[in-house]
Amino acid sequence: MKTLSSPSSLAVRFARRSLCTRSIQHNVPRAGRLLVRDGLSPLSQPKSTQKLGLLNLNSKSLAHYTTAALETNDGEPETSSTPKTTFEDLGLHAPIVKSLQKAFPDVEYPTDVQSVFIPAVLQEKDVFLRDSTGSGKSFGLVLALLNKHRIITQVQGAKMRHITSLVLVPHRDLAYQYLHWIEQMVNASVDGHEPPPLSSVAQVLVRDEGMHLDSGLDLLRRSIESLMPPHILIATPQALMDIHKADNTFIRMHLSPSTLSAVCIDEADYLIETLPRKDPAKSFKKAMDREKKRIERHPGPTKELLNIIYKPRQEANAAGLSIPPCPQLILSSATLRTQLRNYVYGESGWLDRQNVVKIYGAAKKEASQWQRGLQHSILLVSEERVRNMDSAADTPSNLPISAFPTGPSAEPEPPHGNDSTGPEYGQTSSPFNPNMLEAIATTFALDVPLCALLVLPASASVTRAIWELSELGINARSMDLQKKHWEVGSSSEDPVLLVGTLATTRGVDLPELSHVFLYGLPDAKGKVNGQSVDTYLHVAGRVGRFGRGGRVITFVAEDERAYEDGSEEGGKKVSQGEKMERILESINVRAVKYGVFD
Ligand SMILES: Nc1ncnc2c1ncn2[C@@H]1O[C@H](COP(=O)(O)OP(=O)(O)OP(=O)(O)O)[C@@H](O)[C@H]1O
């Protein structure tokens, strides 16, 4: 058993020189089974055919989808001579496809899920979209929304352009990820045309680092005044509701159901709180009722916003009248749980239920299949040592090195340009478990060729963690996708440890990552339930995207801190390691031994 000494920054840097002793498997991505509930799908249920609108996939994309549906259980596609579906086949305009291919040459053909949902979006359906992390949901959404016609009305003889699509995301980094994708495509506008100003295509409305809304709001107001509002507005629900509270005409004027064409909610299960699914007949009925009242009293900004935008639909649905024109509603997540779908479909009144398409890709239990190249480990950390769970499987073979370029060959430089803010941190006691940070720093130094992501609990201080990691000699930086101030693989840059929290990493796409480190359990209160399982899936899903492989390592305390949440079962305390094991079991994953510490 290898014990963990206190790594000084020198020791960590020395350790880093022996980088890449482990490496990552590169798998060809294979989609899981796709299930489309609509009138044409061979998998559709007769009941759903009556309830749901038809999805008129053209013959090629239907053939493609059918091939996906016929995959064998082990994920091997049956051989088919059907030509591959192209983005044009899905209905995307040629200039958009050209810009896409210029900006993203690796994106040659749509993924299975994109082949199905892009046409559904273009046909103005309301869409429930669930597929594995990294299957291209958000990216495909961008393509579909860019393809939409700009809504223009005539007001007193003057042409008025309107915001066509609203994308709601849980945090600012995901908003900037969308914006950067769009910016790359705008800049790749082809045929020698001057690209349009980015602000007329897309804008972001989120609170900035100083928690101010002003810069985004000023730009938006100016572009509305100059009759060039963005085609796509990407915002957090909280930012929009804050604006609404200051000016209750804003949403009515600029996000009116009569001029908006689509509302998309990315990470919908994170943004819309619903009751956990439990049997109401059981003894916890009282607790459920309390919870229900709490959610009704505090519905959260996303529900509040949708209740404003979809008021005409809600009223028509309640009165059984025909549904007035309203923007299509698209809800997307890798973990779109039944209770959320039931709430939105049955209770919210936001949908046109005759016009809904439900697209479900790999289910939770198949996550391990989609993310075949992923290895999950749990490390137990105490004052004396770092070790694997006794039950962890031996690593099948250490991961081959091909998936990631090796790190810069130059000797590592001392860390620089990090985000630590203050010597004052040295004066105050750390909110972090120092053994855990040391274990993370050592793992990073020994195993990460280019870039890893550390995910902290939602309320943890990122700047404090960065400062402490820098003290250990680690090139740690905040995961700020607006500035993206790191340059992975450059000869002047050490491997980078990006630091974010459970609240700021959902949905982000960082292709350069090989490792994700999770600090503690996915639930702050130590609960093992559907929500903590989903949270873990989203954390793990930052790697293994598009078959790239990767490692997910959860660090939990083994000493008395392992029982800090005080959970007991039948008088027996349950350790954090055991809880983490249960989370992995529920997604059919067995932790593998992480060789560095055993
Ligand atoms: N058709 C495609 N071919 C190749 N790469 C693609 C394709 N579509 C998207 N990608 C790439 O896949 C990555 C993941 O895409 P995206 O973030 O949209 O996945 P996601 O399904 O929304 O994941 P999550 O559930 O974690 O939010 C991006 O880097 C994107 O460039």
What's the distance, CA 557 to chain centroid? 27
Angle at the Cα of 432 from the Cα atoms of 429 and 434, rounded to 5 degrees: 90
Phi, psi of 403 (to 5 degrees): -70, -35
- The residue contributing the CA closest to ligand 1 atom 3 is 107
Q: Decide if 65 contacts 82 (C-beta within 8 A).
A: no
Provide the token pair at 110. Answer: 């749509």
Q: Cα 110–331–456 angle (5° rounding)? A: 90
Contact 34, 75 (CB under 8 A): no
The C-alpha atoms of residue 188 and residue 96 are separated, in whole angstroms, by 10
The reported pLDDT for the residue numbered 486 is 72
- Model ipTM? 0.99
Give me the mean pLDDT over the 107-133 stretch.
95
Give distance in angstroms: CA of 14 to centre of ligand 1. 36
Q: How far is the CA of 443 from the centre of ligand 1 (A)?
A: 28
How far is Cα 54 from Cα 44, in angstroms, rounded to an integer? 11
Q: For 270-299, how does the pLDDT look when each residue is reduced to its tens digit (9 = 90+)?
A: 999 887 766 555 556 777 777 778 878 888
Give the model's pLDDT for residue 549. Answer: 81
**What does the pLDDT read at residue 492?**
67
CA-nearest residue for atom 6, ligand 1, is 107
Tokens 């572009």 correspond to 223
Strand-pairing partners, residue 497, are 452, 476
Compute the 3-state secondary structure of the chain and give helix, strand, coil in percent, each to the nearest 5: 35, 15, 50
| 111-125, 439-453, 478-492: the lowest-pLDDT one | 478-492
Backbone angles phi, psi at 499, to 5 degrees: -125, 125
Distance 552 CA to ligand 1 centre (A): 19
| The two three-digit tokens of residue 4, written as one number | 């963990």
474 near 464, Cβ under 8 Å? no
Dihedral, 210, 213, 216, 218 alpha carbons, nearest 10: -120
C-alpha 301 – ligand 1 centre gap (Å) = 27
Q: Per-residue pLDDT for 507 more than 80? A: yes
Of 52 and 461, which is predicted with more confidence? 461
Query: Distance between CA 319 and CA 581 in Å, rounded?
Result: 49
Task: Supply the residue whose CA is at minimum distance from atom 5 of ligand 1.
Answer: 107
- CA 124 to ligand 1 centroid distance, Å: 22
How much distance in Å is there from the Cα of 137 to the middle of ligand 1?
Answer: 6
CA 437–ligand 1 middle distance (angstroms) = 31
Backbone φ, ψ for residue 298 (5° rounding) = -125, 80
**What pLDDT, in 10s, does the model give residues 72-98?**
333 344 445 667 899 999 999 999 999
pLDDT of residue 408: 34
Q: Pick the atom of ligand 1 nearest to 546's CA.
A: 12
Over the stretch 219-230, which tens digit does the pLDDT of each residue have? 999 999 988 999
φ/ψ of 357, rounded to 5, equals -120, 135
Higher pLDDT, 63 or 422: 422
Q: What is the pLDDT of residue 330?
A: 98
Residue 49: its H or E element: helix 46-51
pTM confidence score: 0.82
The average pLDDT across 156-160 equals 79
Contact 1, 598 (CB under 8 A): yes
Mean residue pLDDT of the chain comes to: 79
**CA–CA separation, 286 vs 280, rounded Å?**
9
Judge whether 267 and 506 are in contact, CB under 8 Å: yes
CA of 589 relative to ligand 1 center, distance in Å = 23
> Phi first, then psi: what are they for 103, rounded to 5°?
-75, -35
Strands in 370-481 per DSSP E: 374-381, 386-388, 451-456, 476-478
Give the position, in ligand 1's atom list, of the atom nearest the Cα of 507: 27
Rounded CA gap, 27 and 29, in Å? 6
Q: Could you tell me where the DSSP H helices lie in 202-356?
A: 214-225, 237-246, 250-254, 268-271, 285-297, 301-309, 311-319, 338-342
* Each residue's pLDDT tens digit, 242-267: 999 999 999 999 999 989 999 999 99
In angstroms, the CA 185 to CA 143 distance is 10
- The larger pLDDT score, comparing residue 207 to residue 139, is at 139
Do residues 230 and 150 lie in contact, with contact meaning Cβ atoms separated by under 8 Å?
A: no
* Cα 376 to Cα 522: distance, rounded to the nearest angstrom: 14
pLDDT band per the 50, 70, 90 thresholds, residue 138 = very high
**Tens-place pLDDT, residues 365-409:** 455 444 567 899 999 999 889 999 998 988 654 443 333 333 333
Element (H, E) at 551: strand 550-557
Which ligand 1 atom is the nearest neighbour of the CA of 177?
17
Distance 365 CA to ligand 1 centre (A): 20
pLDDT higher than threshold 90 for residue 6: no
Out of 3.90.190.20, 3.90.550.10, 3.30.70.980, 3.40.50.300, select the CATH number for domain 116-275+283-360.
Answer: 3.40.50.300
Show contacts of 420-429: CB within 8 Å, 24+ apart: 420/463, 420/466, 420/467, 420/470, 421/463, 421/467, 422/463, 422/467, 425/464, 425/467, 425/468
Residues with CB under 6 A from ligand 1: 104, 106-107, 110-111, 114, 133-139, 334, 507, 509, 511, 541, 545-546
Return the pLDDT at 197.
92
For ligand 1, atom 1, which residue shows the shortest CA distance?
110
Confidence of residue 420 (pLDDT cuts 50, 70, 90): very low
User: Span 450-475, mean pLDDT?
Assistant: 94
Q: Residue 527: its pLDDT value, please?
A: 84
Pocket perturbation via mutation, ligand 1, pick of 87, 92, 139 by most ligand atoms within 8 A of CB? 139
Q: How far is Cα of residue 533 from the mean position of the Cα atoms in its chain?
A: 15
Q: What is the pLDDT of residue 34?
A: 58
382 with 557: CB under 8 angstroms?
yes
| Best residue for ligand 1 mutational test, from 267, 451, 546, 552 (most atoms within 8 Å of Cβ) | 546
Q: Hey, CA dihedral for 15, 19, 22, 24, is it positive or negative?
A: positive
CATH fold label, 377-597: Rossmann fold (3.40.50)
Number of neighbouring beta carbons within 10 Å of residue 297: 7
User: What is the reported pLDDT for 35?
Assistant: 56
Q: Which residue has the higher pLDDT, 64 or 135?
A: 135
What pLDDT score was predicted for residue 66?
29
**597 Cα to the center of ligand 1, angstroms:** 33
Instruction: Look at ligand 1, atom 26, and give the residue with the nearest C-alpha.
Output: 133
**How many Cβ atoms from other residues are within 10 Å of residue 149's Cβ?**
9
Model pLDDT for residues 494-505, shown as the tens digit of each residue: 899 999 999 999
The pLDDT score that the predictor gives to residue 268 is 96
* Ligand 1 atom, smallest distance to 104 CA: 31
> How many angstroms separate the CA atoms of 472 and 481, rounded?
25
Reply yes or no on whether the pLDDT at 578 is more than 80.
yes
Burial (Cβ within 10 Å: 0-12, 13-18, ≥19) of residue 129: buried
Neighbours of 142 (CB within 10 A): 24
CATH 3.40.50.300 placement within the chain: 116-275+283-360, 377-597
Ligand 1: centre distance to CA 9 (Å) = 36
Mean pLDDT of 189-211: 84
- Tokens at 84, concatenated: 């591959």
CB 597 within 8 A of CB 379: yes
Do the Cβ atoms of 533 and 498 come closer than 8 Å?
Answer: no
Comparing CA positions, the residue from 189, 216, 218 lying closest to residue 203 is 216
Percent of the chain scoring above 90 in pLDDT: 51
**Residue bearing the CA closest to ligand 1, atom 16:** 136
Provide CB contacts within 8 A for 508, sequence distance 6+. Answer: 173, 174, 177, 479, 481, 500, 542
- Of the chain, the percentage scoring pLDDT greater than 70 comes to 74
Q: What is the mean pLDDT of residues 464-470?
A: 95
